Chains A and B, each alone.
Chain A
């Protein structure tokens, strides 16, 4: 999961270094057998995320790799930011350029920084998102498409090109607020968890998602997968892994907390929770893991191969299909340490997990 966070000061070339480091990480991940490289969409979030054009980043990633899937996590489904026609067009283009490797996440943004910056209607973002996910599969699959809706309308046109994947790329929704997983299930789309819940909470939400999606009225091809957000720093020595991984986790948490969340600034029914990407909500001690001694939150991919394997086994046991890892936070870890961590994880942890459902997917 790439946020493309950029450390201050924003000297010339710093953003380029961050982007090039991230692309190198994806090339290495591709060679090591990782499944998907996700990249977020954010705007105006100084330091925290400079990833304002993930479709361009992912295009670069796609042409530099052979098998890893590219995930747009997620396109903000607000007309002031991304018109739905453009979302469909760009996604289809990226699916073609990547050879059918696109995963498309959808979202509605949770910060006033972004929503206010585009002068979008914070009260209506959920409604907008709902309309987007209902039209995107039709735009991709119908030869000609027309629409009269709430947030946009259009006369009949051919929306081009069409994606390679048939009937269309897998659709996801990012889940930060509790309850969005139910919205995902009802529409038959994947649950892209981006708030790091603990095991117990994630198990409850995953079970309910899987129960409910059996009864869904799908907006397109059903994607019934659950992914969670995590952080990865793997080192042979648990203490070293914990120290560096927790440094990354703490830095990310600080940068995240300085954003101005919509709920804080603009009272509305549409944001019942902060909806932020807060790491480490899980139990911190007494789980019986050696990681407890280092204060590593429950389920984090931080530590040595044994502790990380145990954590991911737990995620697997509660029905999670994918674990998405943040690899760095504002370059607090040097690039060589990030790459070493990836390689060690691939060598020591990945063999413990079965391949997944799709070709090329797995741990």
Chain B
């Protein structure tokens, strides 16, 4: 059995700080979600802590959200994640994200352990293509991805897996399981386009995208559920999982 080999403490510098696990669910209606998956060179074992298992092959996922409404007004968020398994369950380890609203970013960080930096995100939706570009506040390009020639799919065809967010929590440094339910109303798949990715700027320069798999664009209502589980990053989920709230 293959398990992650990264030192858990290597994930800790800059990890978000959560003072409690008591967040109420958050629903964000009418979001546009661009998701791309791409194989990476050399696998992901060295990028994951022992609590997680790599997929075969290793895959990086980018998710770019355009939220038209929220308690903090419209905002956009982009994430870079590593597809993995916690025990037998599919998960995405959050490497880091970029958010366009400071208030939204603070809330998501404090309540769900999102590791987010401020930035700018352009989200363009055309007839035959969708494109998103992410930049730092200084204007440095971080990510430019999209899809071309979308075709309609049944809403259930696109899969969204729960995230695991390394964070300093009241229980200590943990992987926080973040269940984001996506009620998809419209789903399309297109040819993936990866124009630019600065892996180091996202916090993990060993991610080398090699083989684009898929790109999808969905319209969905997204609900971040109340936190239920965290996991000690240094041991497998069977023994390392801790309950933090009633499911």
Contact = CB atoms under 8 A, between A and B. Distances in A.
A333 to B, nearest CB: 15
Interface in B36-95: 37, 39, 53-57, 59, 83, 85, 87-90
B29 interface: no
A269 B53 contact: no
Nearest to B1: A254
B216 A267 contact: yes
Most buried by B among A8, A113, A258: A258
B130 interface: no
B56 A258 contact: yes
Contacts of B28: none
Interface string B83-119: 1010111100000000000000000000000000000
Contact of B56 (A253, A259, A267, A330): A259
Given A8-B1, A47-B2, A268-B153, A260 B214 contact: no
Contacts of A263: 159
Given A265-B214, A267-B187, A255 B1 contact: yes
B1 A251 contact: yes
A116 interface: yes
B56 A260 contact: yes
B159 A267 contact: yes
A44 interface: yes
A267 B1 contact: no
B87 A268 contact: no
A268 B55 CA distance: 20
A255 B87 CA distance: 10
Contacts of A113: 56-57
Contacts of A200: none
A259 B55 contact: yes
Given A8-B2, A46-B56, A265 B37 contact: yes
B211 interface: yes
A257 B85 contact: yes
Given A113-B56, A116-B213, A259-B56, A267 B2 contact: no
Nearest to A260: B55
Contacts of A255: 1
A116 to B, nearest CB: 6
B180 interface: no
Most buried by A among B55, B89, B189, B211: B55
Given A116-B39, A258-B55, A260-B83, A266 B214 contact: yes
Contact of A260 (B2, B59, B153): B59
B157 A268 contact: yes
B181 interface: no
B1 A266 contact: no
Contacts of B187: 267
Interface string A41-52: 000111110000
A69 to B, nearest CB: 32
Nearest to A251: B1
Interface in A211-260: 251, 253-260
Interface in A142-165: none
Nearest to A332: B1
Interface string A263-277: 111111100100000
A265 B59 contact: yes
Contacts of A44: 56-57
Contacts of B193: none
Interface in A16-75: 44-48
A112 interface: yes
Interface in A104-139: 112-113, 116
B56 A45 contact: yes
Contacts of A269: 153-154, 157
A154 B120 CA distance: 55
A257 B88 contact: yes
Given A8-B2, A116-B39, A268-B153, A260 B53 contact: no
Most buried by A among B56, B156, B157, B187: B56
A254 B157 contact: no
Given A116-B213, A265-B37, A258 B159 contact: no
Interface string B205-229: 0000001011010000000000000
Contacts of B39: 116
Given A46-B2, A116-B39, A267 B83 contact: no
Contacts of A267: 153, 157-159, 187, 189, 214, 216
Q: Which 9 A-B pairs have the closest CB atoms?
A: A257-B88, A267-B157, A260-B55, A267-B158, A266-B214, A267-B189, A265-B213, A264-B159, A267-B216
Given A116-B213, A254-B1, A265-B214, 12 more contacts: A8-B1, A254-B53, A255-B1, A259-B56, A260-B83, A264-B83, A264-B159, A265-B213, A266-B189, A267-B189, A267-B214, A272-B156
28 contacts: A8-B2, A45-B56, A46-B56, A47-B1, A113-B56, A116-B211, A253-B88, A254-B87, A258-B1, A258-B53, A258-B56, A259-B55, A259-B56, A260-B55, A260-B56, A260-B57, A260-B83, A264-B83, A264-B159, A265-B37, A265-B214, A266-B189, A266-B214, A267-B153, A267-B158, A267-B216, A268-B153, A269-B154
Interface of B: 1-2, 37, 39, 53-57, 59, 83, 85, 87-90, 153-154, 156-159, 161, 187, 189, 211, 213-214, 216
